[in-house]
Amino acid sequence: MYIGVLQMELFLGEPQSLKDKRRIIKSLIERIKNKFNVAVAETGKLDSWNYCQLSMVCISNEAGHSDSMLNSVANFVEVQGNVEITDIQTEIIPY
């Protein structure tokens, strides 16, 4: 079994308040969960209006499948018009 971990730092140019940021991020998290069936959480930069850190986790029997799934999530986030990926880290952990 393999655990895939993806951490992304995002820049959001649109929000004018934390409330705006939370609305955008909550919507993005729900779309990721529904489309890819991965666990997603906002894990950093909680008090910043324009930056966000998201972490995603998936579990699979094959390392290649975990990596492919996380790459699909990263590509999905990248094509969203309201966020820009500034940093990305992926790790596949054998269990």
**Alpha-carbon distances of 39 from 20, 36, 53, rounded to whole Å:** 23, 9, 14
pLDDT, residue 3, reads 96
What domains are there in the chain, each with its CATH number? 2-94 (3.30.70.1120)
pLDDT, residue 14, reads 84
The pLDDT tens digits for 57-66 are 999 999 999 9
pLDDT, residue 35, reads 94
pTM greater than 0.75 (yes/no): yes
The pLDDT tens digits for 8-34 are 999 998 888 899 999 999 999 999 999
pLDDT, residue 73, reads 96
